[in-house]
Structure formats: C-alpha cells, structure tokens
C-alpha cells in the first residue's frame, strides 16, 4: 500500500471536480484529483447535446467539448489525476484526511489537508416515486437511457413514455425521437414544467411531443419487457385521482423525476446535510460543518447549468487551497417558505468582508416579485425579478460586510409580491 | 369436524352452493362461488389443523380465473430421453437443498426450473428470516423441523459460504396486562414445544438493546436463535454445491405433462423433450398441486398468498440490529402470517414487511400501493423512524400454503415413484436444510426398492462463493487485487462491486449471464441507485464475457430485452 501527501484532494472528476482541482492548483496547492470512472468529465461525457458554456465561454458547446476545455487546463498544469480509482472510506485525523482508495493497482491511502467533495448526484428511481406493478425490462432513468444511447450506441426504446419534465427527460425526448423512437408524451406530476424553458422549446415543442402537466405514471405492465404504463391525473398534492387512470401501450418508460446529491462519503465524515438541498450545509467558502471538508457542484445542490457548477467549484477549490484551521463565526442564512433553498446556508463573519455568491430558487412560479434580504429585520438588499421559476436557479453577488452583522444576527431571504408591495 | 357438520355449516354460509365429501383420505369441496375470498373461507372452514386429510379445493370460481402458467420460450430436444435417477421439479430453496442433499449418494440428479434463474419466485421474494419457531406448536411438520433446522444454519452457511447472522427476534407488547398470558405462552412453548431459547425482556431492557424501537413497549419476547440469511443467495449456493458434486440444473425448463402407468410416472414431458426419471420430487411451490395432478396424486390444494416487502437505504440499517415487530393480539388467528416486521437484512439494509393477501393468481407478483401502506402503517409503530422516503425497492412474493397451513412432505399416496415437498411457506426457508435430509432419505429408500444406492464418498459439502471485496480489510483486499486487478475496478458504486466479482459470478457453477442473474449473485444494482449507473457497465461486461452483441444481453428472461440493437450511427460494440 502506498501513501502520498497533498494539500487538497478533490473527489470526483466531473465538471465540479475539474474546476475545483484547477482552481486549487492555481491557488498554490498540491492537488490530487480522484475519479471512479475510466475517464474524466462525469455526466458531461454522455451529454452530446449543445447548450453548455453559454455563461462561462459565451458559446454553445456540447458536454464533451465543455469537459475537454477543463481537461486541457488540467493537463497543462500537470495536476495529479487518478482515474478508475474509488474512494472506499475517509479518516479524519484532526489535522487532515486519510483517503482510502481502490484501483486496479490495489488499495492506497492518500492524505491531504483539505478535501473537496465533487461527487455529483444520482437520479431518483421508479420505486422512489412509488411506481407499482411488475418489474420488466424497459424502465430506465433518463441518465441510464442516455448512457445506453450516447455512450454505447444502443436503442433503449422504440415507443416510450417519459415521466418527469426535468431537463434530462426533455433532452432524452428529443434524443430518442431523433433516433427514430416514438415519444408518446412527457408526463409531469407538477402543474408546471420542471425543466429549463429553452429545453421545453427545443426538445418538445419543436418536435410536437405533447407535455401533460398534473399527470403521473402509477403502474407498469409487462412480465418481460415493458408493455404499457398506467397514467393518472393528480391533484394539487400530487396524489393520483381515482378514476382517471388509463393505460398507454409502450415499450419503455424513461424517468426524469429528480436528482439527489450523492453525499454518502460526506455523511461518513459527519457532514450535516440541508434537508432542502439534500446537500451539505456550507458557508460562503463551500466549507461544510466539518473543518477542511468542502463541497461543490451537484453534490452541494442540484444545478441546472454546468456553468454555475464550474463557478461554484472554482470557488471551493480556491478556498480549499487556502484553507488553514481557524475559528469560524457562523450565522445562518434563512430562506422563507417562498424559496426552495438558499446556498450557502451559513456565512462566516470572519469572511464577511468578502463578496458572497449566493444561489437560490423560488418554490413556485412568480411573476414580478422582489427578493428581499433582511438582517435583524432591516432590509439590506433587494432585487426585482420580472419572473422566477423553480427550475431556473438565480445567482447573486452580495457584500455582507456592509450589513453590520454580529453573531446574533438573523439574516432572512424572502420574496415580496406586488400586492404586498402595495400594502407598504 | 364431521362431514355432516361441515356440510351444515357450508349450507348456512353458502346456501348449498358448496358441498364437502370425504373421499380417498381428502375433504373434497365442490360447487361454485363468485368470490375467491369465499372459496378460501370455505376451504379454511373445512381444513383441520395438523390433519393429513387435506382439503381439496374443487370449487369453481369463474371470477377468479388464473392466467395459464408462464412458460419459457425455448423449445428443443436437449433433454429428450434423459433418464435421471431423480428429477427435482422446482429450483427454489426446497428443490435446491434437496438436490444438494441427494448428491451425498451416487445418483444422477436433474433439477428443472421453468424460470431463467433459481429462486425467482417465493424463495427469492421473502424477508430471509431464519425463524426461531416461537409461534409453532407440536403436531405440525413446521414444528417438527424448525428447531433442528434452525440449529443447522451456522454449519450449512459456513459450508456454503453464505452470510448468516443470528441477530435475534423481538416481539413487542404494548399492554402490561398481557404479561401473565404471554409469560405462560412462552413457558408452554419452552417446555411443551421445545422452543427453548425464549426470554422475556422488560421494555427498558429492549430499548437498551435497540434504542430506536418504540418506547411504548411494556415487555418483549426475545428469541436469540432467530437469524437473517440471504434467501436467494442460499438457494443459489445449495444448487451450485449440488452441481459441483455432479447434479445437473436445467433452467428455462418447464414440466408440461406426465404419463402415469400402473401407479408410476413413466414419462415427464418438458419443453426440452420427454424425460424418463426413476423418481420425481415435487418441489414446485405454487404449482405443486398442478404437478401432483399431472402425477395422478393430487391430495392437497394450494391457495396462493401474496406478500410484499420493502428494502430501505443502507443508511437506515443502523436503526436496528435485529428482527422486531409489535404484536397486536386483536388480529391473532385471523391471518396466517406474523403480520410482518422490520429487520436488518443479511446485507445490512432495513427491510419492512411482508403483508399477507389471499389471491387466486399464482404468478402475479405485481406490487400495489396498499401493501406498502399496510406494512408501513403497522411497522412505524414498531420502529418510529421508519419512513417510506428511505425505500429503495419493493417486491412481491406468492406463498404456497395448503389449507391446513402445514407442509406436505411424504411419498406419493397413489403414485409410487413420487415425493411431495409441498405447502412450503414461512418458515420454509428456515426448515429447508432439515427437510432436505428427510426428503433425500425418502428418495433413497424408494430407489433402493429397485436399485442399489451407494453413498457418494467424494461428496464435497464446501462451496466457495465469490469473494466480497468490500468486506475485506485493506491488506487482504490489496493482496486480492494484486492477484487479479479486476477486483480493483469498481463497477457498482452503491454496493462497491468490482468487475472481478462480476466476472467471478459469470464463471460460477450455474452461470446466469443476465443483469438480474449477476445482481442476485454479487449485487451490482442492489443499491440506492438501483442500477442506474452500473446497468450499462454490467451489460457491457456480460456481452464481452459471452462474446455477443450488447443488445443480446437480457434483464432476466429471454424476452426481457434491454436494448433494441444499434442506434442509427451507433457502433453498438460499445466503444466507450
């Protein structure tokens, strides 16, 4: 068994890990990047559609092209990378971390002062959305169907139903149509679509694929290969309405019903998760409650644009490189019920002088409202939005140094709607 | 109950639509009813506990017409004319353990299973509990075998390299007033029925051992001899050991008909040709009655009963170390199931279930939302942090009880070269190793009437399973990877399964090169992502191993196509 010493170990070689490793290196750290798959790039490898990099590079790139830009940067810096290397466990030694890995070379232990967890997310499965019935072949999560189609060159469906209007589901509706499959419809349990507006247009409307809102799949049929699904209308609580069930014959069900940040390693280190994001609760440096453990990208919260992932990861990488043990004075950033979440969840008063990048999502569609941040009841920041949609994450740069914060301060994020405005 | 009394009661209940008659050592019920529940109720009324005069259900029920038995698609002559000493019908825990036991003699044993793998029905769709027998009284076959079999588990699982742990079972009571009754019950079970390991615990002691269980418990029955095992893992292990000792296993092979002449089965028709076995063992689960009928030896009826279990994320495995359930005496006697419970499985997941629902459909393993609801409503009272949100999968199995709710383990009553191992339901997994010994002895005794049967001196009881790399310490794991680097390439991230383990499963004695076959053997796809990440990778490993196209790989059965060939410009060969 071997052991090497690094300043920063980045776990995960997708877009977040790549950006974090580069940024940590540029901040002077000796960096090791660990990737469990054979190739870097994470899920971008199978995202052969375009639309990546509009914010970051000002051009439309495919997933592999976007990843390639970062991989070139990584190579130019000669950063240590280990692929096909799987982290089995991590020990926190108090002054650093021992990362146990398994690879074709055997078991190894790498040590570092700081960790960046860039472990991405996984897809919610059929059973997690309580689809019942038989267990035939032909029920895929959208990402799995995308892997079969784009990486293995195989046709997973001829006539399919898509459940969930998340971005991957929409992308796969178009992709399978282009491969000659018949996409009977995209069914969404919520009353509003879950994917980006641009994907609704480019992937569904342009191909005449119907979108059924407030509908869900309750059951699958078929003993060997899927033969059909039962569709039902749902009420406001997303509960199927009895009597509305109907059967749709198809040979595949593609699920795009949500992503869950993968934080099993984080949890083994005692990292606390935010139930709203299902990712770690972090401070403005992307540091979790465990000193020296940073988290970024989709492991922190599910993003809709890779450009945001890269930006957030670069910040985490830099902070990890500059990390020295110190006392933190954390105060909470509290979202109101109008908001799905706010990231980061805490703010370190020691660092209040720095610019703070904040991401948030509205809980439901809002037309014409104002985001308001109050500190101890006093409005310290507000911004008007013509509209907010849950699938579209918003980003802000704040200057908390100007808010006169103390350790007992309460910082709240909320939305003010026009009618409330009028009352003021 | 006398037949006349029974008929009077049936007359009251069903107005003459059902009648009973005593025929040939059976209680035969005839007539017609509209509702399957009534059919079951009528037969249950006629059934006598521990009686060998079984209820035969010949009540027509036009509203409850079961689909024909699902058959494998293959049709060939590969087994035509084959004349094994023993033909075992059914590749569940019973058939597999019997086949292995028979290999202790010099016998040609052929096991046929109509599904694409072993343990695909009830044996692979249960909770994996090794029962202590606390609910069983003298007089039943279940009781006859339970203690002997329970004690065999360490040895059997060591020989077969199957994980087993004696985690203990707690039955929780929430009414202090029940204490004298339950104490008496435990005393009776101990001294009359030989269930000697039962201990009564206070609610406080229970919480000290299992702090997440309900604080409402006043006292509990504890049976340290209860354990957990992987039910399909054990079935496969039995069958593999049988095969390495010379038995043959034919999957996708269904028994379609039999020829019986002079009280002997002379021919068994399958989709792979006609067999001429010297002896037939009926371990066909829900189809045991149908096989008995083919063999002209039908003297019991099977009434299928569904049960659904849920598997939860391993993160919740820490909630519980053992098996536990709250006992609600108000339902006692109404159902023939312990009403399910919660347990930590042999693989460290939390499991909740099963429920018990009578059904006429022998092969309908669809899951239904109400099953999950029933189980979780009940089991949240056992383990309050239990939550549907942590479910990663759920599955339904169909039990195969007789109306007497006991096993039928005996030679044919009319047909001489036949042994029944039927009516096997909970605790059938537990009792299998002991039942197998008896059935094998019956088989040898029957065969010895016409031929010499010698012991097999070269029988090797030891089976080596695929190494489980994630459970090794760093040094041992490192050493194995240096021997075989494929052990260092992780394919399934949730369960930490390497390519080497998958290749080992493909080279195991009963190779089932499908996604489900590999999943059952070494667990890729059993974790929280349910194969989302690894199923394309496993597909690729299987195709490379077999030297076939990726699209030739199946989920399970021949018709369970995963992909329909290449995309328009796809390579299909899988260059990644």
In a domain, B382, yes or no: yes
Residue A418 pLDDT grade (very low, low, confident, very high; cuts 50, 70, 90): confident
- Give the residue numbers spanning the domain of B439: 69-161+225-302+400-465
Give the residue from chain B lying closest to A35, CA to CA.
B490
Q: How many Cβ contacts (< 8 angstroms) between chains A and B?
A: 161
B210/B150 same-domain check = no
Three-state secondary structure readout of B258-314:
EEEECCEEEEEEEECEEECCCEEEECCHHHHHHHHHHCCCCCCCECCEEEEEEEECH
- On whether any CB of chain B is under 8 Å from the CB of A155, the answer is yes
B353 in a domain, yes or no? Answer: yes
Look at B478 and A157 and tell me if their CB atoms are within 8 Å.
no
Query: Is some CB atom of chain B closer than 8 A to the CB atom of A422?
Result: no
List Cβ neighbours of A423 (8 Å cut-off, separation of 6 or more): none
pLDDT of A2 strictly over 80? no
Q: What is the pLDDT of residue B333?
A: 46
pLDDT band at B570 (very low <50, low <70, confident <90, very high): low
Whether a cis peptide bond, with omega within 30° of 0, leads into B427 is yes
A153/chain B closest Cα distance in angstroms: 4
Residues B56 and B19 occupy one common structural domain:
yes
Which pLDDT score is estimated for B406? 97
B254 shares its domain with B295: yes
How confident is the model at residue B569, as a pLDDT? 65
Question: Within this chain, do residues B217 and B82 fall inside the same structural domain, yes or no?
Answer: no
Note which residues in 9-38 of chain A have CB less than 8 A from chain B: 36, 38
pLDDT of residue B331: 52
Overall domain count for chain B: 4
In sequence order, the β-bridge partners of residue B409 are B421
Tell me which chain A residues have a C-beta less than 8 angstroms from the C-beta of B551.
154-155
Expressed in angstroms, the distance from the first to the final Cα of chain B is 71
Query: Is residue B484 within 8 angstroms of chain A, CB to CB?
Result: no
| Structure tokens given for B269 | 């028709």
Res B576 pLDDT > 90: no
- To the nearest whole Å, the CA of A397 is away from the closest chain B CA by 35
Residue B259 lies in a domain: yes
Q: Are B13 and B50 part of one and the same domain?
A: yes
Q: Is B569 inside any structural domain?
A: no
Q: What is the 3-state secondary structure (H, E, C) of chain A?
A: CCEEEEEEEEECCCHHHHHHHHHHHHCCCCEEEECCCCCCCHHHHHCCCCCECCCCCCCCECHHHHHHHHHHHHHHCCCEEECCCEEEEEEECCCCEEEEEEECCEEEEEEEEEEEECCCEEECCCHHHCCEECCCECEEEHHHHHHHHHHCCECCCCEEEEECCCHHHHHHHHHHHHCCCEEEEEEECCCCCCCCHHHHHHHHHHHCCCEEECEEEEEEECCCECCEEEEEEECCCCCECCCCCEEEECCEEEECCCEEECCHHHHHCCCCECCCCCCECCCCCCECCCCCEEECHHHCCCCCCHHHHHHHHHHHHHHHHCCCCCCCCEEEEEECCCEEEEECCEEEHHHCCCCEEEEEEECCCEEEEEEEEEECCEEEEEEEEEEECCCCCEEEEECHHHHCCCCCCCEEEEEECHHHHHHC
In a domain, B280, yes or no: yes
Distance from CA of A228 to the nearest CA of B (A): 14
Alpha carbon of B48: minimum distance to chain A alpha carbons (Å): 36
Query: Any CB–CB contact under 8 A between A100 and chain B?
Result: yes
For chain A, what are the domain ranges?
Answer: 1-123+258-322, 125-257, 330-424
pLDDT at residue B365, as a whole number: 97
For B:356-385, CB contacts with A below 8 A are: 365-369, 372
Instruction: Report the half-sphere exposure of A258 (CA within 13 A, side-chain side).
Output: 15
Co-location of B152 and B279 in the same domain: yes
- Res B315: pLDDT: 92
Instruction: Mark whether B320 and B265 lie in a shared domain.
Output: no
As a whole number, mean pLDDT of residues B131-158 equals: 97
Q: Which of B474, B536, B550 sits opposite A144 (nearest CB)?
A: B536
Q: Per-residue pLDDT for A247 more than 80?
A: yes
Nearest Cα of chain A lies from the Cα of B563 at a distance, in angstroms, of: 4
A102 to B481: CB separation less than 8 angstroms, yes or no: yes
What is the value of ipTM here, to two decimals? 0.96
Closest Cβ opposite residue B576 in set A127, A149, A151: A151
User: Domain with B540 in it: what CATH number?
Assistant: 1.10.10
- pLDDT, tens digit, 9 for 90 and up, residues B64-108: 999 999 999 989 999 999 999 999 999 999 999 999 999 999 999
The Cα of B68 is separated from the nearest Cα of chain A by a number of Å equal to 13
B236 shares its domain with B152: yes
CATH number of the domain that residue B17 is part of: 3.30.1340.30
Instruction: Write out chain A residues lying below 8 Å of B535, CB-based.
Output: 144
* Identity of the residue in B367, B498, B567 whose CB atom sits nearest the CB atom of A179: B567
| Tens digit of each residue's pLDDT (9 = 90 or more) over A316-325 | 999 999 999 9
| Domain final residue, candidates B344, B375, B396 | B396
In terms of domains, do B99 and B151 share one?
yes
Q: How confident is the model at residue B336 (pLDDT cuts 50, 70, 90)?
A: very low
Cα(A124)–Cα(A130) distance, rounded to whole angstroms? 11
CATH class of A125-257: alpha beta
The helix (H) or strand (E) run that includes residue B201 is: strand B199-202
Instruction: Find out whether B33 and B59 touch, Cβ atoms under 8 Å.
Output: yes
Check whether residue B152 and residue B194 sit in a common domain.
Answer: no
- CB spacing of B529 vs A102 below 8 angstroms: no
Would the CATH topology of A1-123+258-322 be identical to that of A125-257? yes
Three-state SS at B36: helix
Assess if residue B413 is contained within a domain: yes
Neighbouring CB atoms inside 10 A of B266's CB total 13
pLDDT at position B546? 98
CATH code, domain with B204 = 3.30.9.10
Q: What is the pLDDT of residues B42-66, one digit of tens each?
A: 999 999 999 999 999 999 999 999 9
- What b/e readout covers B535-558, taking b as 16+ CB neighbours within 10 angstroms? bbbbbbbbbebeeeebbbbbbbbe
pLDDT-derived band at B340 (thresholds 50, 70, 90) equals confident
pLDDT in tens, B348-365: 999 999 999 999 999 999
Average predicted confidence (pLDDT) for chain B: 95
Nearest to A88 among B496, B536, B551 (CB): B496
Tell me what pLDDT residue B1 has: 76
> Any chain B CB within 8 A of the CB of A130?
yes
Any idea which fold A1-123+258-322 has? FAD/NAD(P)-binding domain (3.50.50)
- Based on the fold, state whether residues B476 and B547 are members of the same structural domain: yes
pTM of the model: 0.96
**Domain boundaries A330-424, CATH class:** mainly beta
pLDDT for A421 = 61
Chain A: residue whose CA lies nearest to B469: A102
- Contact list, A123 vs chain B (CB under 8 Å): 529, 532
Residue from the list B498, B536, B565 with its beta carbon closest to the beta carbon of A155: B565
Same domain flag for B386 and B407: no
> What are the tens digits of pLDDT across the range A26-47?
999 999 999 999 999 999 999 9
Residue B576 contacts A, CB cutoff 8 Å: yes
With respect to residue B560, please indicate whether it lies within any of the assigned structural domains: no
Convert the pLDDT of each residue in A282-302 to its tens digit.
999 999 999 999 999 999 999
Given a contact cutoff of 8 angstroms between Cβ atoms, the answer to whether A172 and A165 are in contact is no
Phi, psi of B5 (to 5 degrees): -60, -45
Which residues of B fall within a CB distance of 8 Å from A157? 564
Cβ distance of B563 and A154 shorter than 8 Å: yes
pLDDT bucket at B34, cuts 50 / 70 / 90: very high
Catalytic residue annotation of B: 131
The pLDDT of residue A406 is above 90: yes
| pLDDT value of position A4 | 77
- Cβ neighbours, 10 Å, residue A180: 12
Q: Given CB atoms, is A223 within the 8 Å cutoff of chain B?
A: yes
Mutate to test the interface with A, among B469, B529, B534, B549 (most CBs of A within 10 A): B529
Contacts of A122 in chain B (CB under 8 A): 528-529, 532-533
Does any domain span residue B453? yes
Find chain B residues with C-beta within 8 A of A166's C-beta. none
Average pLDDT over residues B387-400: 97
Contact list, A134 vs chain B (CB under 8 Å) = 365-366
**Cβ B474–A158 below 8 Å, yes or no?**
no
A77 pLDDT exceeds 60? yes
Q: What's the average model confidence in pLDDT over B301-306?
A: 98
Confidence of residue B575 (pLDDT cuts 50, 70, 90): very low
A93-107 pLDDT, tens digit per residue, is 999 999 999 999 999
Of the candidates A259, A177, A249, the one whose C-alpha atom is nearest the C-alpha of residue A210 is A177
Residues 276-315 of B with CB under 8 A from A: 315
- Which among A153, A232, A234 is the top mutation candidate for probing chain B, defined by the most B β-carbons within 10 Å of its own β-carbon? A153
CB contact under 8 A, B560 and A151: no
């Amino acid at each position: 068994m071997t052991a090497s010493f690094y300043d920063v170990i980045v776990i995960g070689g997708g877009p977040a890990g790549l950006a974090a490793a580069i940024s940590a290196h540029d901040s002077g750290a000796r960096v090791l990047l660990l990737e469990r798959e054979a190739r870097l790039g994470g899920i971008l490898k199978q995202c052969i559609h375009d639309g990546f990099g509009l914010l970051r590079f000002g051009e439309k790139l495919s997933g592999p092209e976007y990843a390639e830009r970062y991989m070139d940067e990584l190579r130019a810096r000669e950063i240590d990378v280990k692929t096909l290397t799987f982290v089995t466990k991590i020990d926190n030694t108090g002054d650093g971390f021992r990362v146990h890995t398994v690879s074709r070379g055997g078991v190894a232990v790498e040590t570092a002062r700081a960790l960046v967890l860039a472990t991405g997310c996984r897809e919610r499965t059929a059973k997690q959305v309580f689809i019942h019935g038989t267990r035939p072949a032909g029920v895929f999560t959208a990402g799995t169907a995308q892997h079969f189609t784009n990486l293995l060159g195989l046709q997973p469906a001829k006539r399919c139903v898509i459940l969930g209007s998340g971005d991957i589901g929409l992308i796969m509706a178009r992709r399978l149509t282009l491969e000659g499959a018949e996409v009977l419809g995209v069914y969404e349990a919520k009353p509003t679509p879950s994917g980006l507006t641009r994907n609704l247009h480019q992937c569904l409307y342009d191909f005449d694929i119907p979108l059924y809102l407030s509908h869900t799949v309750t059951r699958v049929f078929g003993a060997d290969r899927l033969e059909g699904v039962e569709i039902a209308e749902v009420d406001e609580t997303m509960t199927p309405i009895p009597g509305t069930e109907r059967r749709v014959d198809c040979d595949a069900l593609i699920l795009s019903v949500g992503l869950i940040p993968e934080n099993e390693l984080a949890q083994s280190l005692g990292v606390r998760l935010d139930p709203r994001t299902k990712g770690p609760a972090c401070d403005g440096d992307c540091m979790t409650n465990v000193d020296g453990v940073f988290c970024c990208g989709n492991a922190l919260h599910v993003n809709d644009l890779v450009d945001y992932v890269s930006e957030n990861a670069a910040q985490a990488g830099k902070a990890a490189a500059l990390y020295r043990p110190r006392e933190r004075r954390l105060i909470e950033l509290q979202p109101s019920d109008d908001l799905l979440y706010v990231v980061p969840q805490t703010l370190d008063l020691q660092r209040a002088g720095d610019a703070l990048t904040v991401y948030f999502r509205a809980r439901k569609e809002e037309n014409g409202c104002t985001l308001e941040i109050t500190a101890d009841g006093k409005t310290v920041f507000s911004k008007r939005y013509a509209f907010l949609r849950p699938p579209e994450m918003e980003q802000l740069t704040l200057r908390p140094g100007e808010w006169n914060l103390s350790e007992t301060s309460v910082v709240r994020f909320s939305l003010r709607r026009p009618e409330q405005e009028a009352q003021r | 109950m006398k037949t006349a009394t029974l008929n009077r009661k049936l007359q009251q209940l069903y107005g003459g639509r059902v009648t009973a008659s005593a025929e040939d050592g059976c209680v035969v019920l005839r007539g017609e009813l509209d509702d399957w529940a009534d059919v079951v109720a009528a037969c249950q009324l006629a059934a006598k506990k521990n009686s060998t005069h079984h209820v035969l259900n010949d009540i027509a029920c036009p509203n409850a017409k079961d689909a024909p038995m699902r058959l494998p698609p293959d049709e060939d002559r590969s087994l035509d004319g084959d004349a094994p000493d023993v033909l075992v019908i059914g590749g569940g825990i019973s058939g597999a353990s019997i086949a292995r036991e028979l290999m202790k003699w010099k016998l040609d044993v052929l096991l046929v299973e109509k599904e694409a793998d072993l343990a695909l029905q009830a044996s692979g769709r249960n909770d994996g509990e090794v029962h202590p027998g606390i609910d069983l009284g003298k007089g039943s076959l279940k009781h006859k075998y339970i203690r002997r079999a329970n004690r065999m588990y360490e040895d059997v699982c060591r020989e077969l390299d199957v994980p087993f742990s004696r985690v203990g079972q707690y039955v929780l009571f929430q009414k202090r007033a029940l204490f004298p009754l339950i104490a008496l019950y435990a005393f009776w079970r101990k001294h009359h029925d030989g269930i000697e390991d039962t201990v009564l615990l206070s609610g406080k002691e229970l919480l000290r051992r299992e702090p997440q269980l309900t604080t409402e418990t006043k006292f509990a029955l504890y049976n340290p001899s209860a354990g957990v095992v992987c039910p399909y893992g054990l079935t496969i292990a039995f069958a593999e050991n049988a095969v390495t000792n010379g038995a043959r296993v034919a999957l996708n092979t269904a028994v379609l008909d039999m020829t019986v002449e002079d009280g002997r089965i002379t021919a068994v028709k399958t989709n792979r040709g006609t067999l001429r076995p010297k002896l037939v063992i009926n371990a066909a689960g829900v189809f045991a009655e149908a096989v008995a009928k083919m063999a002209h030896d039908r003297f019991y009826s099977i009434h299928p009963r569904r049960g659904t279990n849920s598997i939860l994320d391993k993160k919740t495995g820490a909630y519980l170390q053992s098996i536990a359930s709250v006992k609600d005496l108000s339902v006692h006697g109404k159902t023939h199931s312990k009403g399910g419970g919660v347990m930590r499985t042999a693989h460290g997941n939390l499991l909740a279930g099963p429920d018990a629902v009578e059904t006429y459909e022998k092969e309908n393993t669809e899951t239904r939302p109400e099953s999950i609801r029933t189980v979780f409503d009940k089991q949240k009272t056992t383990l309050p942090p239990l939550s549907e949100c942590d479910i990663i999968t759920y599955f339904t199995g169909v039990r195969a009880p007789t109306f007497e709710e006991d096993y039928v383990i005996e030679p044919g009553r009319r047909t001489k070269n036949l042994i029944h191992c039927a009516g096997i339901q909970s605790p059938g997994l537990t009792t299998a190793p002991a039942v197998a010994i008896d059935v094998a002895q019956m088989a040898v005794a029957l065969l010895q009437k016409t031929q010499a049967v010698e012991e097999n001196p070269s029988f090797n009881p030891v089976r080596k399973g695929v190494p489980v790399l994630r459970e090794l310490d760093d040094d041992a794991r490192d050493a194995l990877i240096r021997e075989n680097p494929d052990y260092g390439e992780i394919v399934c991230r949730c369960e930490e399964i390497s390519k080497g383990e998958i290749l080992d499963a493909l080279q195991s004695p009963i190779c089932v090169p499908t996604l489900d076959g590999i999943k059952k053997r070494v667990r890729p796809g059993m974790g929280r992502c349910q194969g989302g990440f690894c199923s394309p990778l496993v597909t690729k490993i299987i195709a490379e191993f077999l030297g076939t196209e990726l699209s030739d790989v199946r989920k399970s059965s021949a018709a369970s196509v995963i992909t329909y060939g290449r995309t328009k410009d796809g390579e299909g060969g899988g260059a990644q």
